[in-house]
Amino acid sequence: MPSVVLIGGATASGKSAMALEMARIHGGEIVNADSMQIYADLRILTARPTPRDEAEAPHHLFGVSDGADIWSVGRWLRAARAVLAEIAGRGRPAIVVGGTGLYLRALTHGLADIPAIPAEIRVKTEARFDELGENLFRAELGRVDARAAARIAAGDRQRLTRALEVHAATGKTLSDWQQEAPLPPMEGAWRGIVIKPPREQLYRRCDARLTAMVEAGALEEVRRLMVREVPPESPILKAMGVAPFAAHLRGDLALADALARARADTRHYAKRQLTWFRHQTPDWERMTL
């Protein structure tokens, strides 16, 4: 087994179960590569490993941050590289698991060392996208970073807003930042695996898991988050299910309608993940669970 195994794939595909089984067999340690599972607030709704799972193998970067905090890809990469070095120092294999493709790509390809973007610029950029729509927003981005505007795929709101906010915050384009010396990729041998169940099976798993989450207390997790009044720019508020379940708790949606919306959102997210891994990791091994 290589010193590092990367397991990616869509939500509800079975990544965490595979990582835990691999850790049991090989004495490995598990490292989180899911941008929502970093936060402590939504263990149930983000499908974080259970306390029982965490007792069976060492887990790292799960639930380590408050929901009001902001983690960038660069921040995760620095933390993950430090954890991987510690695991290697113990002579144990590491299993990096998660559905945030940008995290896995940063680990294997490196990342431009871009300064942190102030929260107020993030909020203004998101609002600008909502105001203009994708086509006009892309045109606005093209006036300051034509390479990014041409390169970013249709429908990729996250990368479009990221490119414009980098220019707004630093005065330099994202494309220019990416041409400079990056944070280096990890060293040593690694194996990449994408878990890819049949699409309809995956969608059924997404639906069933959301029902189980509600029964296990996901609504109460969202309620506690609402009471805290977490800043609107906090990434945790984008976790699948938060928006429709919050609408239900405010009295704006019946529970059945909130659950239906959460299921639809999760299916769309899973579809985007499948597309990302198909295009970005063509040389990784494919497995069906």
Q: What is the pLDDT of residue 115?
A: 78
Cα atoms in the 13 Å half-sphere on the side-chain side of 140: 17
User: For residues 63 and 37, is the Cβ–Cβ distance under 8 A?
Assistant: yes
Give Cα separations from 289 to 17, 91, 194 (angstroms).
Answer: 10, 29, 11
Check if the beta carbon of residue 244 is closer than 8 Å to that of residue 258: yes
- Partnered with residue 32 across adjacent β-strands are 97
pTM value is 0.82
Burial category of 52 from C-beta neighbours within 10 Å (exposed 0-12, middle 13-18, buried 19 and up): exposed
CATH no. for 4-112+184-196+276-287: 3.40.50.300
Q: Which amino acid makes up residue 279?
A: H
Sign of CA dihedral 268, 270, 276, 282: negative
Give CATH 3.40.50.300 domain extents, the chain.
4-112+184-196+276-287
Positions of CATH 1.10.20.140 in the chain: 119-179
- CATH topology assigned to domain 119-179: Histone, subunit A (1.10.20)
**For 179, phi and psi rounded to 5 degrees?**
-85, -10
CB-based burial label for 135 (10 Å; 0-12, 13-18, 19+):
exposed
Give dist(CA 154, CA 176) in Å, integer: 21
Residue 256 burial (CB < 10 Å; 0-12/13-18/19+)? Answer: exposed
The confidence score (pLDDT) of residue 181 equals 58
Residues carrying CATH 1.10.287.890, the chain: 199-274
- Contact indicator for 110, 182 with CB cutoff of 8 Å: yes
pLDDT in tens, the chain (289 residues): 679 999 999 999 999 999 999 999 999 999 999 999 999 999 999 999 999 999 999 999 999 999 989 888 888 999 999 999 999 999 999 999 999 999 999 999 988 777 778 888 989 999 999 999 999 999 999 999 999 999 998 888 888 999 999 999 999 998 888 777 577 888 888 999 999 999 999 999 999 999 999 999 999 999 999 998 888 878 899 999 999 999 999 999 999 999 999 999 999 999 999 999 999 999 999 998 7
State the architecture of 199-274 in CATH terms.
Answer: Orthogonal Bundle (1.10)
